[in-house]
Structure 1
Amino acid sequence: MHPHPKIRELDSLLRRLERPESVHARRRISTGCGPLDTALPGRGLLRGSLVEWLGDGPGCGTGMLALRAAREACREGGALVVIDPQHNFHPPAAVAGGLDLQRTIVVRRVQCKQERQGQRGTQDQWDKRGQWALDQALRCPHVAAVVAWPQQLDSRVFRRLQLAVETSGCLGLLVRPAAAQRESSWADVRLLISPVAHAPASDNRNNASHTDPGALSWRLKIALLRCRGGSTQRTVDLEIDERTGDIHAAHPGNLATQLADSTVDSRQARA
């Protein structure tokens, strides 16, 4: 005797509930930055991983690089959750970078009266609530990526976040200060990003120097501090065209050429 179709349907539903699976297969995705992909095993980040982007100051590019990776994680569906207590996330810049705000959830705190009066207890409460929100977002199987700016994470909380992404298949992208590299970490990948220098964009250097002196590129150095399943202590030099947002490998000769040109110009000016 064959079971009723409704019984088979209920049985299938129960099996899915008993063994929940993420809508995202545990596979590798691009960071949105080709030179960085090349330095990583499998040429990308593995879904179900935590990635730390370490750096200090607005010029280090940690948030920008994390959001590029989030954009790639969301290409095949799923939501992006941004835990943003310090208002680092700027929607217009996110749209310009290719993010879909229709599938983006931003979590921010609202400063209450006690906090405006400088009571530390309120900040501590937000830290706990922010960590709870981060944990819940990372556990959601319909979230493709989470970007957050946690200042402090103790080992117990960090481990819980790592287990959360393993369960859901979400990509957790944590933007943290450079000093955090001295702390223990449960991240699968740790990247230290440092600004290097500004130089005329390498592909249009001559045009930039004569027709548009303000058209500069943005140079960063990324040090691979930790990478599960791959070698570490590797560095990647990037050049970001501020006009187009394109990212490519920086060539060491670019800055030297710029300095040489400036020396020649100064000599000609004195002649």
Structure 2
Amino acid sequence: MAASSLETLLQHPALWRGDDLARVAQPSLATGFAALDRALPGGGWPVGALTELLHEREGVGELRLLAPALARLTREGRWVAWVTPPHLPYAPALAAAGIQLSRLLVIGKTTLRDNLWAAEQALRAGSMGAVLFWPSDIDSRAARRLQLAAEAGGAAGFLYRPLRAAEQASPAALRIVLEAQGDELSLRLLKRRGAPATAAIRLRLAKSLVFPGREGRRPAASSFSPGQAWHA
């Protein structure tokens, strides 16, 4: 191969080298956190691909992490689908975070097969800015179908999975372990396109998703009842 042809190939945006961050051809969605954007190929959440967010328990900040991006999408008139969330989203808290409620679609739990079908159809629809999915269980074949659906529909897909799933292979373009560290959220990038990440990222998240409960107390981290926020 001629030197000029090789150089042209090496500059192609779809090509990445192991010692550098990927220069992704697909668009990205700014996370709202400068330190995280700098660590992600494309400078944000991958669009047209899956991101896995792995955590040991609910309430570590897994929703507040996405709030800036979801607020931006809904302000732009894009739809955001929540597929089988573990709790009913608390509308006042979401609105306070800047998320336009009129652009949210919530799909409740049914059977695993139907839940997977709903998530796949939402990702593939072409009208969704983002799809958040909490699968009760998912294998590599089903995850691959979701990755292909995100590519076809151009949506940013987010899978919330238990921490133990970090040991399993995944077709997701980005995999991040979330851990609460005092008032901060620690993000460990298990997988990204390009060079492996060497250090965790620590973020201080906004507290705008925490609202007083019925008796004027803040709800526990993983609790939900009418009049309380899902503290996540």
TM-score bucket (shorter structure): 0.7 to 0.9
Which whole-Å CA distance do the structure 2 matches of 1:85 and 1:78 have between them? 19
Greater alpha carbon shift after TM alignment, 132-141 vs 226-235: 226-235
Unpaired stretches in structure 1, ≥5 consecutive residues: 1-24, 110-124, 198-217, 246-271
Which whole-Å CA distance do the structure 2 matches of 1:241 and 1:56 have between them? 21
The question of whether the paired residues in 2 share the 8 Å contact of 1:70 and 1:147 is answered with: no
The question of whether the paired residues in 1 share the 8 Å contact of 2:177 and 2:189 is answered with: yes
Aligned-pair CA distance for 1:54: 0.8
Which whole-Å CA distance do the structure 2 matches of 1:108 and 1:75 have between them? 24
* Match of residue 142 from structure 1: 127
Question: Are the structure 2 counterparts of residues 50 and 29 from structure 1 closer, same or farther at C-alpha, using a change threshold of 3 Å?
Answer: same
* Match of residue 219 from structure 1: 184
The question of whether the paired residues in 2 share the 8 Å contact of 1:53 and 1:66 is answered with: no
TM-score, normalization by structure 2: 0.73
Pair 1:164-2:149 in alignment: yes
TM-score, normalization by structure 1: 0.63
Unpaired stretches in structure 2, ≥5 consecutive residues: 1-24, 211-232
Structure 2: which amino acid aligns with 1:229? G
Q: Greater relative contact order (Cα 8 A, min sep 6): structure 1 or 2?
A: 2
Which whole-Å CA distance do the structure 1 matches of 2:79 and 2:107 have between them? 13
1:211-265 CA-to-partner distances (Å, cap 9, x unmatched) read xxxxxxx2111101100234334310112353699xxxxxxxxxxxxxxxxxxxx
Aligned-pair CA distance for 1:47: 1.3
* Match of residue 249 from structure 1: none
The question of whether the paired residues in 1 share the 8 Å contact of 2:50 and 2:173 is answered with: yes
Alignment of 1:1-271 (within 5 A): 26-87=26-87, 89-109=89-109, 126-197=111-182, 218-242=183-207
The question of whether the paired residues in 1 share the 8 Å contact of 2:97 and 2:208 is answered with: no
Structure that is richer in helix per residue = 1
The question of whether the paired residues in 2 share the 8 Å contact of 1:151 and 1:177 is answered with: no
Which whole-Å CA distance do the structure 1 matches of 2:150 and 2:207 have between them? 33
Which whole-Å CA distance do the structure 2 matches of 1:136 and 1:244 have between them? 29
1:67-101 CA-to-partner distances (Å, cap 9, x unmatched) read 44333344433211111252253222211111111
Which whole-Å CA distance do the structure 2 matches of 1:88 and 1:191 have between them? 24
**Equivalenced residues, count:** 186
Question: Are the structure 2 counterparts of residues 53 and 68 from structure 1 closer, same or farther at C-alpha, using a change threshold of 3 Å?
Answer: farther
Which one has a bigger Cα radius of gyration? Answer: 1
* Runs of 4+ more than 4 Å apart: none
SS at match of 1:130: helix
Which whole-Å CA distance do the structure 2 matches of 1:194 and 1:76 have between them? 31
* Percent of aligned positions that are identical: 35
The question of whether the paired residues in 2 share the 8 Å contact of 1:40 and 1:230 is answered with: no
Q: What is the CA RMSD across the aligned residues, in angstroms?
A: 2.2
The question of whether the paired residues in 2 share the 8 Å contact of 1:49 and 1:171 is answered with: yes
Greater alpha carbon shift after TM alignment, 157-166 vs 37-46: 37-46
The question of whether the paired residues in 2 share the 8 Å contact of 1:50 and 1:171 is answered with: yes
1:108-136 CA-to-partner distances (Å, cap 9, x unmatched) read 13xxxxxxxxxxxxxxx611111110010
Question: Are the structure 2 counterparts of residues 53 and 72 from structure 1 closer, same or farther at C-alpha, using a change threshold of 3 Å?
Answer: farther
